[in-house]
Structures are given as C-alpha cells and as structure tokens.
Amino acid sequence: MRRLGNYINGQAVPSNSGRYGSVFNPATGHESCQVALSNQAETREAIASAEAAFSQWSQVTPLNRARVMFKFKALVEQHADEIATLISQEHGKVFSDARGELTRGLEVVEFACGIPHLQKGEHSLNVGRGVDSFSLMQPLGVCAGISPFNFPAMVPMWMFPVAIACGNTFVMKPSEKDPSVPLRLAELLTEAGLPDGVFNIVNGDKEAVDVLLTDERVQAVSFVGSTPIAEYIYATASAHGKRVQALGGAKNHMLVMPDADPDQVVASLIGAAYGSAGERCMAISVAVCVGDEVADRLVGQLADEIDQLRVGPGLGLTEEAHMGPVISEQHCAKIKDYITLGQQEGASLIRDGRDFVYPGHEHGYFVGASLFDHVTPGMRIYQEEIFGPVLCVVRAESYQQALTMINEHEYGNGTAIFTRDGDTARQFCENVQVGMVGVNLPIPVPMAFHSFGGWKRSLFGPLHMHGPDGVRFYTRMKTVTARWPTGLRAGAEFSMPTMK
C-alpha cells in the first residue's frame, strides 16, 4: 500500500509517527493509499524549516518572488489534467468540476503574481516642514494553513500563493481525506524555483493542528472548514498571539421573487444545489420562495430536473456525470440521517436520494439528489449545514419575511436573489446580513482580486481570504516618519509633537 508522508525543506520525507490514515476512492469505497498522521516533532520540524528559510526569502525582491509564481502557474497549467484526475480520485467530484476548481485556484496565483504592485506602501511628502511619512508592508514570518477536503487544490491556493508572494514562509496542513494534490503542488513549487523550506506540508490530524496553533514561531493561521472547528482554531491561535482568519460553515439561501425568470431560477438552482454533490461552502441549500405559486412551480420543475440528473463516478464514464459521490462512508451516512430527520420533522420529501446505488460501484459513497418542500425555520434540516445534495424549499409570504429569515440565520456566508426588479435587488444587497451576495447569480464567489469571506458564524477574524484582505492579512504595516537635516535647528519640545 502506497504511503504518503510530508514535504519538508524542499523534498518528500517519510513519517516516523507510526500512525496512518486511510485515503479512499469515494466512487468505489476502496482504499487507494495511506497518509501519515504526523506527530508533534514532525510538525515542529516543518515549522523550523519554514523559519530557517524566512530570513532569505523575505529579502528576495517582490519582482523575483512574483517570477516564481509565474513559473508555478505555468507548471500547474501544464499538469492540469493530472491534478484534476487526482482530485476526482480522492474527492469524488467529476472531472470538469475538478478542472474548474483548479482554474479558480490559479486565479489567486495570478493575483499573487502582481505582488510588486500589491505590496506597495503609501508615501506623503512634507507632512511637516522637511518631514516625510511613508508606510512599509512587511511579511510576518512563518504562516500556517489548514484546508478542508472539499477543495484540495483551490482552498490551499487561496492561502499560500499570497502568503509566499508577500515574503512569508508557509506550513500547509491539508485534509487527510485527499492529501495527494497539495503534495503535488509542493513538488511543482520546488520545480518553479521556490527555495527549500519556503513551502512545507505536514499531513496529520488534531495533533499536528494543535502544534501549528500554539507554536510561537507561527505568526498567522488560515483555516477553512466547519464552524465548530473554525471557532476552536480562532480561539486557540488567538490566545497564543497569532492573527487568524477562520472561515466556517454556511447555510446559503436563494431568494426567489415572483417576477424572477422561472427557467433561469431552475437552471441556476439545480447546479448550485447539487454540483459537487453539495459539498461546497457556497452551495445553495435553501430556496426561499415568495408566495405559494412561486414555490409550487419551482418544486415541480426541480423535481423534473432531478429526475434527469446523472449521478456517477467522477472519472471513466462515456458521458460525464453531473455529480459524483460524497467524500466518505461516514459523511454519506450523516447526509442520509439528515434526510430521515427532515421527514420526522414534517417536511415534504419530494425526491429521496438515500437508496441511490450506481451499478458496479455498490460500495461507493453515493447519495442521490434530494429535495424537501414545506421546510420551516424551526427544523434542524434548515438550521444546520448538511453539506450534501439536499435542497430545502421554504415558503415566505413577502420579501420582508424572506429577508428577515435570512438575516436571522446564524450563518452569513453567501446568498442570492433572483428578480427582474432593480430596486428590490438593490435593497437586498444593502440590507441582507451576509458577506457575499449574488444577483441573478447563484454562487457569488468573488474573483481572486476581490476578497472571499462571510459574516456572523461563517467567519472568525476581521480579514477575508485572498484579494486586498489577503495581502493585508499576510503583511504587517510599519509607518516611518523621517526628517533629514535641512539647516534648520530647533530646541527641545516637551509638549505633544505636532507638524507645524
């Protein structure tokens, strides 16, 4: 059985922890390899490698750091099919979705290539007589990233390209469920000319994570995952003096107004709810319909579309599936339990995916697309993140009731409104208490040159991922006020200095 270790100081290294986790192909349920669950000493070794590399890497000019990113981007594009295949094999998503994930990750690399411009400070001439003031955006040191299973390429690339381009060094702790892609990216970074030790990978579980959160050499921690873990990451790392951006869970609503184009709504919703088997933090899992007529029409059309969905393995089919399996046997069982719970809570189960089996893949982790109607805010299937191919339809009597429903939910990651009315859309964008908003667009993931992040219990920490906030997160500002000799001489001043 193939065993994956760590990537430290520019090379793959085996683990000596003696602990390994199993990596499965979700489409077959078969174990494909094993991954190291690193101990504290191995994690500290990765941090030490990053710390040793920082002094030289931080002094490399921004232009030369950007050139490494340019080469890395070209190498990832060259190996895109290989990487997408790894994503499909270990995560389960279909190949085109895997390629799309990789493309969105590369957009952040492209953004990081502009670091000579992005890391410029500000300058003010003559803030006082003969006095100038300017700011420096300097790197922090060793940074750490902890990424989830659902985007093994994109989410790490939300983190390390910006951090490294800003002059930091990095330790990545990927998900132990699909670790092969980050290790491949590490090899390509080395091939692109990144010095040894600037980027390191330590595979593992909570033992490795806790070292990253508490070791005094780590200056900043980035995380994407569930809200309970995000809250733990934020509390623990902050208590140890680190800056933290921890992105948590979501329950994203789509508000459907009576004037919305029905065909556009259905086409958008079917992909946003069931793409990647619903394992996206920006998936639409709740459709809020204003009026029973809107809801009745939508549910009927969705049911017809669900009947046409192709569910199957992410690779190897003549006609590609629309969605593949979910990540693990345990998660598959959890999603099915939520569907059972929804029935017990009184929601109307319009389409039931619990019994779906793909022929020849009876041990795969498949769940068919499921649809609930008449869901109410008091139900757990409405309140909790299911993270699977389950869509809840909620009925509201008015726009205001629907808006209040969205604003009162504990999560505030993403939302969307579908309407032809510009005034309603504008009001929604201004008043909804959610961090990312789409107008007639179901998954409003910002481009890399904007920042990604939610509100409320979907984000812990003040700064979002990538974009301008990403640069701010991975740098610290130093402001310099300078006076050079001009022949002027002044006596001592004992009052508060002012620029006269």
Catalytic positions, written as ranges: 281
C-alpha dist (Å) from residue 489 to 128, 306, 480, 494:
14, 81, 21, 16
412 three-state secondary structure: strand
324 three-state secondary structure: coil
Whole-angstrom Cα distance, residue 235 to residue 238? 5
Whole-angstrom Cα distance, residue 189 to residue 10? 9
Q: Residue 426: phi, psi to the nearest 5?
A: -65, -45
Q: Which residues contact 351 (CB under 8 A, 6 or more apart)?
A: 303, 306, 307, 368, 369, 370, 371
Residues facing residue 351 across a β-bridge: 371
Amino acid 148 reads: P
Give the number of other CB atoms < 10 A from CB of residue 293.
10
Whole-angstrom Cα distance, residue 380 to residue 393? 14
Which is nearest to 323 in space by CA: 152, 133, 93, 11? 93
Whole-angstrom Cα distance, residue 400 to residue 55? 55
C-alpha dist (Å) from residue 163 to 76, 120, 141, 197, 294:
18, 15, 9, 14, 46
Whole-angstrom Cα distance, residue 473 to residue 464? 8
Q: Residue 246: phi, psi to the nearest 5?
A: -125, 110
Question: What would the DSSP string read from start to end of 457-500?
Answer: TTEESS--BSHHHHHHHTEEEEEEEEE---S-------SPP---
Is residue 115 within 8 Å of 232, Cβ to Cβ? no
DSSP 311: B
Query: H helices of 258-372, where?
Result: 262-274, 292-308, 329-345
